[in-house]
Amino acid sequence: MRTDLAVIGAGPAGLAAALAACARGVRVALVDAATEAGGQFYRQPAAGLRAGRPEALHHRWRTWERLRDGLAASAVRVLTDHHVWAVERGPDGFTVHALLGPEQEEPAEVHARAVILATGGYEQVLPFPGWTLPGVVTAGGAQAMLKGGLVVPGRRAVVAGSGPLLLPVATGLAAAGVEVAALVESTAPRRLAGHVPALAGKLAEGAGYAARLLRHRVPVLTRHTVVRAHGGGTMTPRPDGAMAPRTDGAPLRLTGVTVAALDGDGRVRPGTERHLPCDTLAVGHGMLPHTDLADGLGCRLDGLAVAVDAEQRTDVPGVWAAGEATGVGGAALALAEGHLAGRSAAARLRGTTPDPAPAAVKARTKLRRSAAALDSAYAPPAHWPEQVTDDTVICRCEEVTAGAVRDALDLGAGDERTVKLLTRAGMGWCQGRMCSTAVAGLAGCPPTPSRRPFARPVPLGVLARQHPQEGPS
């Protein structure tokens, strides 16, 4: 199909961008991989689940209602189930290459004069011994199960890691009836206190969560970390009720975690370890921007995020970016950035002067400041690699252990790329999205943006059919 503007990603940034642009008279296609608009933040329970009060699981439900109703009333073409694998720049615009879900075998193309990348972010999890056990889920994954499937991952959970996401996950699990044995946050409270002015709004939000944690009696352990997850379940009940060793080859399952206090340098304080029984560990260490499509288009990155100007324009003409892709800062910031991007793109497409909404500009400034403050406050323990034993799997797709990564470093690999070449860490299905920060950490290098020319795997037949000279040689 042909359109003026393709917005990729229907989360807060993409929704705001699409609505702003459409309201200013340009044709907009909103492209997303999911079955419904909303993104991760406004993830909706599947219709078949007949959720009675979906708003109970959501923060800022009214904003969602406004976006949802606005979208329904708008002329925006919503293309769900479109898994975008690349955006190609041509002489007269852009081609968004997608695969239709869920099989992702049939191609679909959207031709547009301009593109807004609202590709969001993904969760980062640092490895520790036992992190691959069934029962260990990502914090965002636990939240997605709650919001999208209306299911709880277990009966007794520990929520651990670092970052602002842990609070809603812990309170969400507790409200859904899960016993939350502890919220384990590696950041010290005084680090957050140091950013009070920039965090004004966020602290109020945090105070709300604190009250809910208290109400659900969730113990909060700050400056603590999970040092190991323990598995069990090799015994299974026989029909007569007695316990017998398993013969079905079923994997071990999480039975508990060892947590420990951290010292001022981010090292585990010896002698502070204690065991917390649980069947679920929801763990996360913050978010990373999705930059694959931007990188494929040749957009300049600033660190790990897409670089944009005051109008949310990238350095590639005709390409805007907004939301987590331009730096992780939460849904409210994504809405402001998306709105500004949509207005700018519409104006540029129509040849008029952009008229940025002063309120959105102001909100963006304030929210970026608090995002930066949160980012510098929340940090995984500085010496986390010390806790990673050689037998800990780092790359789950290719089953590469920390020991293999350390061997590669010994062979002369000095960076993430060479570790990947020598060990295959990061070469599997997820293309390093899960392990790349961990590999960089073990290598002692700062994380670098990975190059993923295919934002998702694409059948060779789809590529081949697009080749102009295809035919018998």
* Closer residue to another protein in complex, CB, 245/472: 472
**201 versus 461: smaller Cβ distance to another protein:** 461
Residue 2 — φ and ψ, nearest 5°?
Answer: -115, 140
Shortest Cβ 357–another protein spacing (Å): 34
Residue 413 found at the interface with another protein (CB under 8 A): yes
Q: Within 13 Å of residue 197, how many CA atoms lie on the same side as its CB?
A: 0
Q: Which lies closer to another protein via its Cβ, residue 267 or residue 456?
A: 456
Can you tell me the distance from the alpha carbon of 115 to that of 352, in angstroms, rounded to the nearest whole number?
Answer: 18
CB 423 within 8 A of CB 395: yes
Is residue 102 within the footprint of another protein (CB under 8 A)?
Answer: no
- Report the SS3 class of residue 404: helix
Among 63, 431, 436, 437, binds another protein (CB under 8 A): 431
Q: What is the largest CA-CA distance in the chain?
A: 79
Residues 220-239 that bind another protein (CB under 8 A): none
- Per CB under 8 A, the list member of 236, 429, 444, 446 interacting with another protein is 429
CA of residue 247 relative to chain centroid, distance: 37
* Contact positions with another protein (CB under 8 A) in 43-62: none
Using CA atoms, how far apart are residues 340 and 21, in angstroms rounded to an integer?
9
Query: Distance between CA atoms of 289 and 37, rounded to whole angstroms?
Result: 19
| Distance in angstroms (rounded) separating the CA atoms of residues 306 and 299 | 7
Alpha carbon distance 150, 152 (integer Å): 7
Measure the CA–CA gap between 162 and 165, rounded to whole angstroms.
8
Q: Which of 25, 149, 446, 453: binder of another protein (CB under 8 A)?
A: 453
Binds another protein (CB under 8 A): choice among 277, 298, 303, 446: 298
Task: Return the ∠ at Cα 164 (arms to 321 and 300), rounded to 5°.
Answer: 25
Give the whole-angstrom CA distance, residue 131 versus residue 70: 42
Is 285 in contact with 447 (CB distance < 8 Å)?
Answer: no
Contacts with another protein, 393-412, as mask; x by CB under 8 A = -----x---------x--xx
Span of 72-80, 240-248, 366-374, 447-455 interacting with another protein by CB under 8 A: 447-455
> Per CB under 8 A, which of residues 76..95 are in contact with another protein?
86, 88
Counting contacts by CB under 8 A, is residue 160 touching another protein? no
User: Which C-beta is closer to another protein: that of 108 or that of 203?
Assistant: 108
Closer to another protein by CB, 95 or 132: give it: 95
Cα distance between residue 229 and residue 136, in whole Å: 8
Q: Is 467 in the site for another protein (CB under 8 A)?
A: yes
Work out which of 111, 233, 424, 447 binds another protein, going by CB under 8 A. Answer: 424
Computed from CA positions of residues 407, 410, 411, 414, in that sequence, does the dihedral angle turn out positive or negative? positive
With CB under 8 A as the contact rule, the residue among 38, 296, 329, 380 that binds another protein is: 296
The answer to whether residues 30 and 10 touch, using CB atoms and an 8 Å cutoff, is yes
Among 70, 418, 447, 448, binds another protein (CB under 8 A): 418
Q: CB 318 → another protein: shortest distance, Å?
A: 16
Q: Which is nearer to another protein, 273 or 399 (CB)?
A: 399
Among 73, 204, 242, 464, the residue binding another protein under the rule CB under 8 A is 464
How many residues are given for the chain? 473
* Residues engaged in binding another protein (CB under 8 A): 86, 88, 97, 105, 296, 298, 398, 408, 411-415, 417-418, 421-422, 424, 427-429, 431, 452-454, 457-461, 463-464, 466-470, 472-473
